[in-house]
Structure 1
C-alpha cells in the first residue's frame, strides 16, 4: 500500500498474526503492572508527605530517564535484539517493586526510597518502550500499522488506566505487599508471554560504528524530517503540560480536605474514565483518521487534550471531570495512533530505535520538567491556577498546525 493509499484511508484488513498477538498479550500484562504501580507509588508517598513539590518529585524521578537515557536506549535498540532488551527490562521492573516491599517490611521505607525505585523503573521503561515501538514493523506490514498500533493502545490503555488504577487503589488499601507484589508478578508474567514470540529481532549492521555516531545518525534523520520534528516538539509541549497537571492530581482529588474529596479507590475510578475513552479511541482512531484526514484529526486532538489538561481549573465536580477525562482519552489515542504510525512508516527499520528515542527525547524528555513545574506552580499559585496554565499551554499548540497539512504529511511519507 502506498502513502497515498494510507492517506485516503484504505486499510489492510489481513490478519496481524500470532507473534503480534503474543506481543499484544505481553504488553497488556506489562501495562497492567505499570497501572497498578503508578497509583500505588503516590498513594504510599502521601503517607510520608503532603508537599506538592515532593509528590511531584516522584513523577520527575520516573520520567527523568527519558531526558537522560533515551538516546542511549534507542542506539541499543538498533544494536541489540529488541525482544531481549524488552525481556531484561521487564525482569528489572519485576525485581524493583519486590525490593521495595522488603524495604518497607524492614521499616526502612522513606520518600527517598520511593524516588530511587521510581527512577530505576523509569530507566527500564525507557528500554522497554523504545524497543517495543521499534519491533512492531518487524512483526506486521507497514500498511497494518494504524490497526496494529490501535489494538496495542487498546490493551495498553485499558490495563494501564482502566483496570490498573482502581486495582492499585484497592491493593494499597489491603497493604504494601499487595500493592507492590502484584505488579512484580505481572511483569514476570509479561516476560513469559514475550518469550513465546519467535524469531530474532536484531537489525543486521554492515559497518561497525560507535554508539555516539549511531546516536548522531538518528538525530540527523529526525532533524531533516520537518513533519516528524514538528510532531515531536508538539508532543513534548503537550506532555510538559499534562505531566505538570497530573503529577499533583492526587492532591486535588484524594482526601477529605481536597477539592474533590475522593477516596483512594475513587481516585482510581476517576482515572478509569480517561482509560475508557482511550479504549473507545483505540478502536475508532483509524476510522477518524480516514474520515477527517490526518491534519484535521490532529487539530481536533490538540483541542481535546487541552480541555482534558485544563478541566480541573474550572470544575470540582467529579462527574463533569469524568466526562471530560473520557473525551480526553479518545483524543490522546487519536493523536498517538496517527503520530506513531506515521513515524514507523517514514523511518527505515535500521534507524527506528534511534529515531524513536530521539523523538521521545523531545516528546517525553519534557515530562520530568513539566512535573517539576507543575509542583512548583501548585505550591506558589495553587492547584487550580496551575491546571489553567497547563491547559492554555496545550491549546497554544494549534499555532503549529499550519506545518502539518495533509499535503506535508503525504510528502513526508512518500
Structure 2
C-alpha cells in the first residue's frame, strides 16, 4: 500500500489542523495570563493547566481508546474543544474572565486534548502498513511541528496582539474542521478501528498496559528517560513566557515571541523529516540519547544571549534533535507493542511525557517563589545536561530492542 492515499492524507490534515489550534492556544493561555497582570508562578500554573489532565485522565483515555471506536472518540473530543473555546471567546468579549476562569478553560481544553491525542495517536497503525510507520510518523511529526510550533505560535501572538479573544475563536474554528475530517474518515476505516477482541474490566485494562511497559526492559528504560526529560523541560517551559516577556534582555512582545517560536520550530520540522535518515545512520539508541542534548541547547539559548538570532539558532538545533528523539521513540513503541495494547501503552507513555510537563511546571512555579525565575530556569537547564550524560550511557549502539512476541 502506498503511503499517501486518501485516508492517510485526511488523517494528516486532521493532525495538522488540530496541532495548529494547539500551538495557538498553548502560547495564548500564558500570554493572556500575563496580560491580566499575573505573576511568574501564576503564569506557570495557567500554562500547566493545559497539560495537567494527562496526569488524571491519561491512563483512562488509553483504556477507552482500546474499548470504543477511536474515530468516534476523536470526533467527540474535537467537538468538545469547539464548545470550550467558543465559550471562552464569549467570556473574553463580555469582559467576564478572570485568572481562575482562564485556568478552568485551560484545564477543560487540556482534558479534551488528552482524549483526542490518545485516540489520534493509535489511528496511524490502522491506516499505514508497519513497513511505512517510521516514514509516516516522520511526516506526521513534521506536519505537527510545522503547525504547532512554526505557524501556531506566531499566529497566536499576532492574534492576541489584535484582540485577546481572537486566538480562541480561531482555534475553535480549527477544531470544528478537525471534527469534519474525522467524520469523513470514519466510514473508510470503521472495520479496522472497531475490531475489539475483548473488553475486560477497566482495572484489568489499566493493569495490563502498565504491566506490559514495566516488564519490557526497553520500554521501562525509555519511559524513565522520557519522564525525566519532560519533567525537567516542564520546569523550564512553564516560566519561559514570563521570563522572555518581562525579565530577559530580549523583552519580546507577543508577536515577537511568536516569531521566535516559529523560527525555532524549523528545527522541529527538520528533525521530523530527517529522523529516518538519522536513525539509519546513527541507530535508534543514539538518536534517543541525543534528544536530551538537543533540549539542553534549546533551553540554554535564551539564558546566555540577548541576541534574537543566536537564541533562535540554538533553539533550532535543539528542537531538531529533540523531535528526532520523539519520532524514534514513538516508532519503536509501536513496533514493540501488540495491536490490542496500542491505546494503553500509548496512554502510559503520554502520562510519562505530557503528564510530567505540568508536574514540572508546578515544580517550577514553587521554585520561582523560593528562589527566582532566572535561577529556576538555570537549574532546569543544568538538570537536562545531566540527563544527556545519563542517556549516552543508557542508549548505546545502533540496534533496536527485540520485538515482543505479541507484537508480531
Deviations 1:92-115 (A, max 9, x none): 111111101111222211000111
* Residue 46 of structure 2 is aligned to residue 55 of structure 1: no
* Residue 211 of structure 2 is aligned to residue 223 of structure 1: no
Aligned-partner Cα distance in 1 for 2:312–2:325: 20
Check conservation: 1:311, 1:387, Cα contact below 8 A: no
What is residue 68 of structure 1 aligned with on the other side?
56
Which of 195, 200, 208 is the aligned partner of 2:183?
195
* Residue 165 of structure 2 is aligned to residue 177 of structure 1: yes
* Residue 395 of structure 2 is aligned to residue 404 of structure 1: yes
Once the two structures are superposed, the pairs formed by residues 360-375 of structure 1 within 5 Å of their partners are 360-375=350-365
* Residue 253 of structure 2 is aligned to residue 263 of structure 1: yes
* Residue 93 of structure 2 is aligned to residue 100 of structure 1: no
Deviations 1:231-273 (A, max 9, x none): 1111111111111111121122125x64321111000011112
Check conservation: 1:85, 1:127, Cα contact below 8 A: yes
SS in 1 for 2:402: helix
What is residue 308 of structure 1 aligned with on the other side?
298
Structure 2 gaps, min length 5: none
What is residue 7 of structure 1 aligned with on the other side?
none
Check conservation: 2:18, 2:178, Cα contact below 8 A: yes
Q: TM-score, normalised by structure 2?
A: 0.94
Once the two structures are superposed, the pairs formed by residues 328-347 of structure 1 within 5 Å of their partners are 328-347=318-337
* Residue 330 of structure 2 is aligned to residue 323 of structure 1: no
Check conservation: 1:92, 1:124, Cα contact below 8 A: yes
* Residue 19 of structure 2 is aligned to residue 28 of structure 1: no
Structure 1 gaps, min length 5: 1-12
SS in 1 for 2:96: coil
Aligned-partner Cα distance in 1 for 2:197–2:370: 55
Check conservation: 2:53, 2:107, Cα contact below 8 A: yes
Aligned-partner Cα distance in 2 for 1:227–1:310: 29
Check conservation: 2:26, 2:50, Cα contact below 8 A: no
Once the two structures are superposed, the pairs formed by residues 156-167 of structure 1 within 5 Å of their partners are 156-167=144-155
Aligned-partner Cα distance in 1 for 2:386–2:372: 22
Q: CA deviation at 1:203?
A: 4.5
Q: CA deviation at 1:380?
A: 3.0
Which of 391, 398, 404 is the aligned partner of 2:381?
391
Q: CA deviation at 1:407?
A: 7.1
Q: Which runs of 4+ in 1 moved over 6 A?
A: none
Aligned-partner Cα distance in 2 for 1:43–1:207: 46
Inter-CA distance 293–399: structure 2 relative to 1 (3 Å threshold): same
Q: CA deviation at 1:53?
A: 0.8
Q: How many residues align?
A: 401
* Residue 267 of structure 2 is aligned to residue 277 of structure 1: yes
Aligned-partner Cα distance in 2 for 1:410–1:214: 24
Aligned-partner Cα distance in 2 for 1:106–1:64: 27
* Residue 230 of structure 2 is aligned to residue 242 of structure 1: no
